[in-house]
Structure 1
């Protein structure tokens, strides 16, 4: 039986949304502390994995309670909502970028954001937008989520009952896709930046983790230092962090990395979700789950704000996409002053948290009031 939502999932979804916003603002100092600077993977992996986890938890309960066809209908309805949101979000993003570009004279923000196709071929760009082929910078995660969620409507029953069968098929497709050139069409480079044929594995693994997490397991009594899998994951995470940090100093990196290993490791493809990226995320997730096994740490005030952002991830993600070019514009007008960059990064995160708080408050307002209790006199 699939149980209710886990606040830890909401927390890490909210944290990933903050990291995505900070990563999307060029030269943002706070972007230096996000995942992409301390390992091979970044917040995108967190977003997709937890999307799969949360989706299977939510629609798995619908499958158990109301049957497959109702679960399929609700998944497709949600997919349609995401598709409509994508269209409106892109329109709003273009308006903001054109506005910002008119105020920043030292850079071409339209070109940097990948909107040149709309300027040069507006009619074709509108068609490509409807077909999910026109995806400017910042927009890639949402079309990926749309495709992956639509695919969940097909595999959900088997994923709930035989998760390892689905994982095996998903892994096979993941391994074959880069060699056979499987991807979806897009403008610019001709393919999707986030290849859904490979990234589907992370989504499926998230769903399988949700199923596995509901199964009773014997309590591990050995200390973490004596658990081989934890030790291996921790070592890999640490090594990946050291190598990633060393990229800032090429001479240090060259001293640490033998050329034979470097030829095997690089390039680390984000488009096809390179195995070292996938392995790094899984190792990081495993280490984090082991170090934070309980839920008590999610009860402090700051964690609660982050959890709330995770509960309204779609709305908060969309706001972050719109805030990123505005923060970039303010930073550019201020000459990329360090204090202003910190200020816009923190204000953007605060506005995202405020939106989540408003949505939570609005949800409570719309809930029906409890019926008054009648007291009988004795």
Structure 2
């Protein structure tokens, strides 16, 4: 049962919102998602067999997008309330500009790495592994498409989606000024259109392939986080039926997601295929939302009131990564390919896989520390 009341201990909306203090739960779970995203993007990494995506409908992408919506409510919602939509649009345009160049930089750096790495052990080039042959074959033609986001290879599709999600914030806050419920009608309406074949953004000029992540579908989750932070809806902390239902949803998704079971049981495999429209990652199918909501509920319960259980050195390190989300995401996507190249230079045995994955985690932590140091602009005091 949902009611709009004063903050409840289990809510993501806390007394900390009255000031500038960061919510440790947002930083912790966003940091955790960034570690998972790193492993998920390392080519043929055995550790990727054990990430959450292998056992359920949703994955770390949902965590990242949902919490980005929450963080955006704190950063941009307050600005809109305080300064109006004009300055909000300027601030969001500045942020989109930053993300745009992060996207371009990530593409160029990763393409250069793939070109320098040469051939994989199987004889194929690393360029082929990321399907970048069209770009290297005709860069003069594809560069304008790269810069206009009409050439978006699958590996580089999250940041373009995030740019469009940010661009929708003034639309939703403007609609909010017309009627407080109008944004929710727009959010649901856009999402519903993506489920029924709404035209999607082109990802390459030589085919009709669209962006893998459809922003108009994923905005549902982004704005769920945004408005949960902006207009708190608080679950009753002792509602055990919600917890039990969440556990059942998570457990029930495992037989329909875990590939060894799907291969073992033709019946489960058939059911899984029939559910594809509801589990579609591109358009953000309904079962992904339901599964993520169940995980989020349990995560809040596990974290404790106001994130009281997310203490200790290990949690602190994860939070540091979550605090620098854009820089760490970009670095992690580049690092994942470098780790794949490093694994190819080994026998990919358990020890080599362990050492390279741990080295990747360590580099994320170092990158978070370095990014935080630069953000403090320590030279200004001299």
Please give the TM-score of this superposition, normalised by the length of structure 2.
0.86
* C-alpha deviation, 1:250, in angstroms: 3.5
CA distance in 2 between partners of 1:364 and 1:309 (Å): 16
Determine if the alignment matches structure 1 residue 153 to structure 2 residue 164. no
The answer to whether the 8 Å contact 2:200/2:211 transfers is: yes
* C-alpha deviation, 1:164, in angstroms: 4.5
Please state whether the residue corresponding to 1:181 is helix, strand or coil: coil
Determine if the alignment matches structure 1 residue 136 to structure 2 residue 148. no
Residue 313 of structure 1 aligns with which residue? 325
* C-alpha deviation, 1:184, in angstroms: 0.5
- The CA RMSD over aligned residues, in Å, is 2.5
The structure with more radius of gyration: 1
* C-alpha deviation, 1:293, in angstroms: 3.1
* C-alpha deviation, 1:278, in angstroms: 1.9
Determine if the alignment matches structure 1 residue 39 to structure 2 residue 56. yes
CA distance in 2 between partners of 1:65 and 1:193 (Å): 36
Question: Given the alignment, which residue of 232, 252, 273 partners 1:239?
Answer: 252
Determine if the alignment matches structure 1 residue 205 to structure 2 residue 205. no
**Structure 1 residues without counterparts, runs of 5 or longer:** 370-378
Question: Given the alignment, which residue of 96, 102, 105 partners 1:85?
Answer: 102
- Within 5 Å, give how 1:305-344 maps onto structure 2: 305-344=317-356
Question: Given the alignment, which residue of 292, 298, 301 partners 1:290?
Answer: 301
* C-alpha deviation, 1:302, in angstroms: 1.1
Please state whether the residue corresponding to 1:124 is helix, strand or coil: helix
The answer to whether the 8 Å contact 1:100/1:326 transfers is: no
Distance 1:37 1:160, change over 3 A: farther
* C-alpha deviation, 1:345, in angstroms: 1.4
Deviations 1:259-316 (A, max 9, x none): 5x44541353211112111211122112211332322222211111111111111110
Determine if the alignment matches structure 1 residue 265 to structure 2 residue 275. yes
Determine if the alignment matches structure 1 residue 191 to structure 2 residue 201. no
Residue 345 of structure 1 aligns with which residue? 357
The answer to whether the 8 Å contact 1:163/1:208 transfers is: no
Residue 176 of structure 1 aligns with which residue? 193
Residue 118 of structure 1 aligns with which residue? 135
The answer to whether the 8 Å contact 2:195/2:285 transfers is: no
Distance 1:262 1:364, change over 3 A: closer
Question: Aligned pair count?
Answer: 360
Deviations 1:56-89 (A, max 9, x none): 1111121222222112211111111111111122
Deviations 1:139-198 (A, max 9, x none): 111111111111213223445996643223211221122323321011165200001121
Please state whether the residue corresponding to 1:248 is helix, strand or coil: helix
Residue 220 of structure 1 aligns with which residue? 236
Determine if the alignment matches structure 1 residue 254 to structure 2 residue 266. yes
CA distance in 2 between partners of 1:104 and 1:69 (Å): 54
CA distance in 2 between partners of 1:82 and 1:338 (Å): 36
CA distance in 2 between partners of 1:38 and 1:250 (Å): 11
Please state whether the residue corresponding to 2:260 is helix, strand or coil: coil
The answer to whether the 8 Å contact 2:154/2:211 transfers is: no
